[in-house]
Structure 1
Amino acid sequence: MPAASDELDVAAPFEGDLTDDLALALRLADAADAVSMARFDAPGLDIRLKADASHVTEADLATERAIRGILAAERPGDGVFGEEFGAEGTTARQWIVDPIDGTANYLKGIPMWATLIALAIDGVPRVGVVSQPAIGRRWWGATGLGAWTNGADAPRRLAVSAVSDLSAASASFQSIGQWDDAGELDALLRLTRAVWRDRGYGDAWPYMLLAEGRLEFVGEFDVKEYDVAAHVPIVREAGGRVTAYDGEDSIARRSIVATNGVLHDAFLDLLGRGTGRGAGATEQTG
């Protein structure tokens, strides 16, 4: 199945105008929001288990279909890689879509879920939109165009924090169980003991809090390309850094570490993934 390149050089220079692509991504998010909100917290929502034991709802399927329908009409030469219907077409320009990131929250009526839309060019996510319609929030960014969120009166440009000391940093992680399953529970404990504050804020939202300058670290395991591609341009354009847990510039290694940039190497060292390979570190398992 074609997907984003294993070797994601997020720092590679890019020459081109992504204005039209970003505008399309925002329109895709508008269409997705209309579909997903129509069934959110609705009685009788059809919910099924997939082969991997994760949930899928009728809204997941309908939302991805809506996005694919617009792309088929307006970008017929582009490829698409979505969580629910897989990959088709070229990977030179590939839209990467998670129709509802946080389906477990969605089906419980918890408003912390999002639609993730990214455009990867030659394997590198260059456009990203994260839309959380249940709380009225949206974030977007594209290489060279900055990172933004919807403000009260006008879009507000995003910038990561300037925190440069681990002891003053705030960190978010998906769950203790997730880190334990990855064999990284000791690393998580080192992380929580080193930072000022640690919380689990959910799926997409922590990366947006990072881009807004409210967090300094987000880390996850067992993530697919469609779980993280939309975050990359937003975090990078806000001044942050994104790698896999082993420090590689890839979204295809089933892990992610996003930081405010200035602390990235320090976090990797603390976790035992940097050049210093922190005390008590174990070898990468995932």
Structure 2
Amino acid sequence: MSRDLNFAIRLAAAADEITVNRFQARDLVVTRKPDRTPVTDADTAVEDAVRALIAAEFPDDTVAGEERGGSVGAGRTWVLDPIDGTKNFLRGVPAWATLIALVEDGVPTVGVVSAPALGRRWFAARDHGAWVAAGGEAVRMSVSGVASLSDAYLSTTHLGTWVEYHSRERYLDLVDACWENRAFGDFWSHCLVAEGAIDVAAEAVVNPWDVAAIQVVVEEAGGRFTDLGGAARFDGGSALSTNGLLHDAVLGLLRR
């Protein structure tokens, strides 16, 4: 593995130590941000710890994180989501993860998604493939070979976000076109696409820290990642991951 990917995995391990210890803690502190989304003491503790490790190892790199801010510009930027799925985390649902990406000149080159309560960690580096570790040796991932939407397994998110940020009708078009649909939510949908377990994951609204790591994981697994308009970018405000074979068909439905 590259030095940067090894370092990102070290960051994920440090984050896991914090999140596992705070998950289902009786004294978990939960507050609400101005946008009314929840934040826990674990979110801020993870981001602070990861930022400190980055500053010690790569003092010239910049950081953009969900809780402490920052932006992605030229050069090297570490993009952090300390807990993706905070609502799950604070309710005791085990589907949450720490997301760590290295973005170089606007392009994600390293991505790690660590979900310790699920016992899984997904990671990838540009031109090094995508891998999943589930309690043992890491296994290389590849997307599915499903070539028809009528055979496709889709994961989406809350209908209300589609109504507000995209279109109820386009959401229903996509759901109706697919064989089966679920809402695994957040990082998990996209990682399941990378594993080949499902074929399409779509979100009407995301932030850059939600999907910077996802983009490189999905692409290195052989899939495609774009926003809902078809641009291959993590900062487009929406997200679509597919096995590649289905991507244009999905975009066609969402653009109608």
TM-score (normalizing by structure 2): 0.97
**Any runs of at least 4 consecutive aligned residues in structure 1 with deviations exceeding 2 A, and if so which?**
88-91
Q: 1:191 to 1:112 in 2, by over 3 A?
A: same
If you compute each CA radius of gyration, which structure gives the higher value, 1 or 2? Answer: 1
CA-atom RMSD in angstroms: 1.3
Higher alpha-carbon deviation: 143-152 or 123-132 = 143-152
Deviations along 1:30-67, one digit per CA (max 9) or x if unpaired, are 00000111111000211001011100110000000110
Q: Partners in 2 of 1:193 and 1:175 — Cα distance?
A: 16
Deviations along 1:189-239, one digit per CA (max 9) or x if unpaired, are 111111100100021111111001011111112211001001011100100
- Report the residue type matching 2:186 in the other structure: D
What corresponds to 1:252 in structure 2?
235
TM-score (normalizing by structure 1): 0.87
The percentage of aligned residue pairs carrying the same residue is 46
- Report the residue type matching 2:176 in the other structure: R
Q: Kindly indicate whether residue 75 of structure 2 is the aligned counterpart of residue 92 of structure 1.
A: yes
Structure in which a larger fraction of residues adopt helix:
2
Instruction: Classify the secondary structure of the residue corresponding to 1:140.
Output: strand
Instruction: Classify the secondary structure of the residue corresponding to 1:56.
Output: strand
Indicate if the aligned counterparts of 1:128 and 1:229 stay in contact, CA closer than 8 A: yes
Q: Partners in 1 of 2:229 and 2:73 — Cα distance?
A: 28
Q: Partners in 2 of 1:221 and 1:66 — Cα distance?
A: 31
Indicate if the aligned counterparts of 1:78 and 1:90 stay in contact, CA closer than 8 A: no
What corresponds to 1:229 in structure 2?
212
Structure 1, unaligned runs of 5 or more: 1-17, 273-280, 282-286
Indicate if the aligned counterparts of 1:78 and 1:89 stay in contact, CA closer than 8 A: no
- Report the residue type matching 1:150 in the other structure: A
Q: 1:118 aligns with which of 101, 104, 112?
A: 101
Structure 2, unaligned runs of 5 or more: none
What is the Cα deviation at residue 152 of structure 1? 5.2
Q: 1:89 to 1:208 in 2, by over 3 A?
A: closer
- Report the residue type matching 2:84 in the other structure: D
What is the Cα deviation at residue 175 of structure 1? 1.0
Instruction: Classify the secondary structure of the residue corresponding to 1:24.
Output: helix
Q: How many matched pairs?
A: 256
Q: Partners in 1 of 2:71 and 2:202 — Cα distance?
A: 29
Indicate if the aligned counterparts of 1:80 and 1:88 stay in contact, CA closer than 8 A: yes
Q: Partners in 2 of 1:152 and 1:24 — Cα distance?
A: 19
Q: 2:149 aligns with which of 166, 178, 181?
A: 166
Q: Partners in 1 of 2:15 and 2:230 — Cα distance?
A: 33
